[in-house]
Amino acid sequence: MQKIDLKNKTVFVTGSAGFIGSNLVLELLRTQSPINIVGLDNMNHYYDVSIKEWRLSEIEKCAAEHPESTYQFYKGDLADKAMIDQIFAKHKPAVVVNLGAQAGVRYSITNPDAYIQSNMIGFYNILEACRHSYDNGETGVEHLVYASSSVYGTNKKVPYSTDDKVDNPVSLYAATKKSNELMAHAYSKLYNIPSTGLRFFTVYGPAGRPDMAYFGFTNKLLKGQTIQIFNYGNCKRDFTYVDDIVEGVKRVMQGAPEKKNGEDGLPIPPYAVYNIGNNSPENLLDFVDILQQELIRAEVLPADYDFESHKELVPMQPGDVPITYADTTALERDFGFKPSTSLRDGLRKFAEWYKVFYKI
C-alpha cells in the first residue's frame, strides 16, 4: 500500500454539497490542513436544496477558520466532460474522491436517465480525466476513491463480504454502482490508476438526505401523517453514522493500492474495494422505536405522541432487500478502523440537528 500524506495536497471531491461529501470536506479542513480542496456539485433538486445550501455555508465557515487551506467550489455536472477536464487541468488534483452520483434505489426505477448520466457517464469522465492526468510525464492522480453501494442484491450469505459474487443487482442504481467498480478495475489495469471503491451501508446522521427512512419518517410524524414500514418490519439495515463513514473515507484516501505481481507471476492492478458499515444490522421496528424516543427527547415531538396510530406495516417494495450487513474485516485489517457509533447516539444527534434546522 502506498501511503499518502494529504497535507499540502490538492483533493477534488465530487458531490461536495452532498451528505457524505460535505462532511468529508469539513473533516479534511479540520484535520488535514494545510490542504487544497476543490468541490463540485450540481445542486440538483432530487431533495430540498436548502439542506445542500446549509452544508455549503458550513464549509464556507470552516474554510474561513483555516486560512492556511484553500477551498474552491464549482457548481456543475459530472456528465459535463469539458468542465471536468478544465478542473483537472487547472487544479491537478493528487487525490480524487468521487461521491457525486444520483442517489436512491427507488428513484432509479422512475427516473433512470439521471442515473445513466451521473453514475455512468459522469464516472467515465472522472476515469478519463484521471487517465490523462499522467500525460507528458506528469505525476497525476495518486489515488481515486469512489463511492459504491447497493451491489449485494439478494445475496443470501451474510455478512456481505467484498469476496462475494455481486452479479444480481436488484435496481438500476445498484447496477450503475457495480458498473463503476468494473470500470475502475479496467482503468486500473490499463492505465495503473490506483483506485479504491467503498461500499457504503445505510448512511444516516444530521443534515442527511430527506429521502432516507429516518428523515422521511420524522417529516411525516411531525405532520401527523402515517409512516409505512416495509416488509411488515422484517427488514434489517446496517445503519452507519456519517462521521464513521467519513473517518473511513479519510483513512482510505491515505493508503492507495499498489500494482504488484500475484502468486502466478501475473500483474495485479492497483485496485481495491472495501465495505464501510456498522457490522451490526438493526431491525427496522427497533430502529423506529429508538427514533421515536430520540425525537421526544429532543422535543421535536410531544411526549404523548400516539405513534401506534401513525404506523402502517406494508409489503416489501420493488428494488429493496430484506437485510444489509457489512463484513468490515478487510477495512479493519488494512486501515485499523471499524465504525462504532451506536444507532441511539447517531439518531440523537440527528434529532438535535433537526430541531435546530427546522426551528421547532
Residues annotated as part of the active site: 173
Q: Give the Cα separation of 246 and 97 in Å (integer).
A: 11
Q: Using CB atoms within 10 A of its CB, is residue 112 exposed (0-12), middle (13-18) or buried (19+)?
A: middle
> Is residue 226 a contact partner of residue 34, using CB atoms and an 8 Å limit?
no
358 CB neighbour count, 10 Å cutoff: 11
Taking every pair of Cα atoms in the chain, the longest distance, rounded to a whole number of angstroms, is 68
Whole-angstrom distance, CA of residue 78 vs CA of residue 21:
14
Sequence-separated (6 or more) residues with CB below 8 Å from residue 211: 46, 47, 103, 104, 106, 107
- Cell numbers standing for residue 333: 485489517
Which H helix or E strand runs over 352? helix 343-357
Which grid cell is 214?
429516518
Give the residue among 201, 235, 230 at the shortest CA–CA distance from 216. Answer: 230
Residue with cell 459530472: 78
Query: For every residue of 126-179, which 3-state class applies, written as one string?
Result: HHHHHHHCCHHHCCCCCEEEEEECCCCCCCCCCCECCCCCCCCCCCHHHHHHHH
